[in-house]
């Protein structure tokens, strides 16, 4: 008998200028490559609708997108933020906290990592070049399916055990990042300038996030494939 496919709820990307949803194909294709069925959610903060997806989906992918509203981590906008989407902030936060409470698998990517940290009491650098200057390239030029810098993997963490290496190359396209890590999380990966770029929630089956972009590198990068594979396996309830 065929194994049941994991249904993964994927947070929508929002184009304010065009008033439209959109999606980077790699989010969906990276999941499909591992046998999952991705389902892009509507942009809403209505609990009735979101509760339906929380019941129906086996896991949730928190995608990239606009900057997080600094109000989400108790700060005022210093003028360094780009466009924000408060509705998306509220939606992602509700899905995240409810999914964690229900024991669902969650993977955050880029903005997803930042939202996860803020939702549990952490803070962000609103603009890395001015608040955390370093020679590390955090805003690479295309193509995005190549390494921009290395990250050191924390020994014994789930990501290090999954990849079986002490460091790996990652792509990088972000101008915000974790400042104070929320107490609910532990670091799994760190850039050469000290920026935390991978986190997980201990004592949960799979609540992970990375600052880099496996959706751009999943076709050729084995580590990106392993990350999506581990997420899908956890959503199916399999032990890693």
Neighbours of 4 (CB within 10 A): 11
DSSP calls for 172-188:
-B-S-EESSPPTT-EEE
Sign of the Cα torsion 153, 156, 161, 166 reads positive
Annotation marks residue 215 as catalytic: yes
Active-site annotation holder among 110, 149, 168, 174: 110
Annotation marks residue 168 as catalytic: no
For residue 90, how far is the Cα from the chain centroid?
A: 16
Burial class (CB in 10 A: 0-12, 13-18, 19+), 11: buried
Collapsing DSSP states into helix, strand and coil, what is residue 155? Answer: coil
Annotation marks residue 213 as catalytic: yes
Dist. CA 236–CA 85, nearest whole Å: 31
In this structure, are residues 124 and 179 in contact, taking their beta carbons and an 8 Å threshold? Answer: yes
Catalytic site positions: 110, 213, 215
């Amino acid at each position: 008998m065929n194994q049941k496919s994991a249904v993964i709820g994927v947070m929508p990307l929002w184009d304010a200028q065009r008033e439209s949803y959109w999606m980077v194909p790699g989010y969906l294709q990276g999941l499909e490559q591992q046998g999952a069925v991705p389902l892009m959610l509507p942009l809403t903060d209505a609990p009735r609708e979101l509760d339906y997806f929380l019941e129906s989906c086996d896991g949730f992918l928190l995608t990239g997108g606009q900057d997080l509203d600094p109000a989400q981590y108790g700060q005022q906008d210093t003028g360094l933020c780009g466009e924000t989407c408060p509705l998306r902030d509220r939606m992602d936060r509700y899905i995240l906290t409810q999914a964690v409470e229900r024991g669902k698998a969650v993977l955050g990517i880029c903005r997803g990592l930042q939202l996860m940290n803020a939702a549990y009491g952490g803070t962000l650098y609103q603009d890395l070049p001015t608040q955390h200057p370093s020679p590390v390239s955090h805003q690479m030029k295309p193509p995005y399916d190549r390494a921009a810098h290395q990250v050191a993997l924390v020994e014994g963490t789930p990501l290090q055990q999954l990849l079986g290496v002490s460091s790996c190359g990652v792509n990088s396209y972000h101008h915000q990042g974790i400042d104070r890590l929320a107490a609910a999380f532990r670091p799994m990966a760190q850039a050469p300038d000290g920026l935390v770029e991978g986190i997980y929630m201990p004592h949960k089956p799979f609540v992970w996030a990375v600052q880099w972009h496996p959706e751009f590198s999943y076709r050729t990068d084995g580590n990106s494939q392993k990350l999506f594979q581990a997420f899908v396996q956890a959503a199916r309830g399999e032990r890693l």
